[in-house]
Amino acid sequence: MSGMRTASLRQLMGALNGTPEKLGNITTAGAGAKDQTSTASTFTIDKGDLLLIQPDVDCYVLPVATGGAVTGGATGTGVLVQANTSFYLQMEDSAPLLSVIRSGGTDVNLKVWRLR
């Protein structure tokens, strides 16, 4: 077994779920939350999808049942995702929208891929 390397989490996720398929970008405009149905170029996320997301600035994300439900800050409901980091997220049947809100004064451009 010499010379074998342990697979990284990303490699394992790719092997289990296939190649990322780019769905689109969720872009905020101002302080309000956006989701894949309220962004400039809308797209569909299916219930149960495993997503890979990457924001260009720090933001809060959360699968929600209705648009605009994520909140940020210390008492907010969203998960803080740091700029330029990749994050895996499983969508639930009861929460089909991926809600995004910026954490600071800069609008967010969140890239979204489905793992197939």
Percentage of residues of the chain with pLDDT beyond 70: 86
- Rounded to the nearest integer, the mean pLDDT of the chain is 85
Q: What was the pLDDT predicted at 68? A: 65
**Model pLDDT for residues 3-56, shown as the tens digit of each residue:** 566 767 777 766 666 788 999 999 998 888 899 999 889 999 998 888 999 999
Domains parsed from the chain with CATH numbers: 19-115 (2.60.120)
Structure tokens that stand for 86 in this block: 């990749």
pLDDT of residue 8: 76
Instruction: Give the residues across from 42 on adjacent strands.
Output: none
CB 25 within 8 A of CB 100: no
> In the predicted model, what is the mean pLDDT of residues 64-85?
82
Q: Is pTM beyond 0.85 here?
A: no
Strand ranges in 8-108 using DSSP code E only, listed in sequence order: 20-27, 50-55, 59-64, 79-81, 87-90, 97-102
